[in-house]
Structure 1
């Protein structure tokens, strides 16, 4: 029988909880030997995804330090973090794509979204590569768990 994953709405509390479980199960047992703070801030999310804490954005933070990985709900502006801010209507549909389709979409769509101000990045995105080499988050989580 095929492993059936529960699907959640992108950016929901349940989705972030599933993301946390995914990272811990896949990455932490590999004992990462690098430190990284990576944050996604998603602007203009549907109102029902807001957390009721006064913020008008949603997102998550992945923190890898001392061989452990933590995923926190909500974007966190931390110095020396790699941070992406992206509009929900761009981010959400991209999560359902498999990696080949996602890479093609990224190359074609990102420049226009950056020019429009709907996609901003801070920090050296290459710092995320060690984490990306430890898992295939696009195929194993985003496209499998996102409604």
Structure 2
């Protein structure tokens, strides 16, 4: 049992550090992480298989403005977390699991956050719009200025 507690504490501490690094909402508590790990039953939320190395996954990556909050985290196997990295969740879900799975994840996020699915979808679209604008400014504007 102690080993599981250490994994939970480490996951929580690492998430706190990342939230501070990216300056995002940080409301995730240690108790919430323990609860989310318990809900997972040791299974990866993406594959449904037993997670060999369970990790805390931010559905909307903090590097893209996602919150360090209970509504934005699930437990997945390290291999799945590593594969997703900081990609857009919508693209990643659709490519790997299809539209049905994406709607289930959005519904889970909405329920945890206490909003409607439509409100959650609107928030996700707004985050994607902001990220796309930042990416465009960083990559396309830089090339135009450089004459490329």
Normalised to the residue count of structure 1, the TM-score between the two structures is 0.32
Normalised to the residue count of structure 2, the TM-score between the two structures is 0.32
Structure holding more strand per residue:
1
- Structure with the greater alpha carbon radius of gyration: 2
Greater relative contact order structure (CA < 8 Å, 6+ sep): 1
